[in-house]
């Protein structure tokens, strides 16, 4: 194999690995951003829903009345 062919092969392999690494990094950061948005949305829904019903104590009372607090039975 000629030296030029070996250099081209090494160049293509290093370029592929570099692009792959950057793409993986972008995917990870996108997942972090998406997870943050989802958790923030969940917290907002819990807070707004509790306020609409009359507070967290009222939510707990309603769930207790309808026997919705038995998680492990």
Q: Tokens 């829904």 sit at which residue?
A: 45
What does the DSSP 8-state code read for residue 48?
A: H
Look at residue 4 in the predicted model and tell me its pLDDT: 63
Residue-range domain boundaries for the chain: 3-65
Please give the share of the chain, as a percent, with pLDDT higher than 70.
Answer: 93
Q: Could you report the per-residue pLDDT of 30-64, keeping only the tens digit for each? A: 899 999 999 999 999 999 999 999 999 999 999 99
CA–CA distances in Å: residue 48 to residues 24, 38, 51, 56: 36, 15, 5, 10
The CA dihedral of 9, 14, 19, 22, to the nearest 10 degrees, is 170
């Amino acid at each position: 194999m000629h030296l030029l062919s070996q250099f081209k092969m090494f160049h293509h392999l290093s370029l592929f690995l570099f692009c792959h690494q950057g793409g993986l990094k972008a995917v990870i950061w996108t997942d972090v951003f998406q997870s943050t948005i989802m958790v923030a949305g969940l917290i907002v829904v819990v807070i707004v829903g509790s306020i609409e019903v009359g507070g967290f104590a009222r939510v707990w009372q309603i769930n207790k009345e309808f026997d919705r607090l038995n998680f492990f039975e």
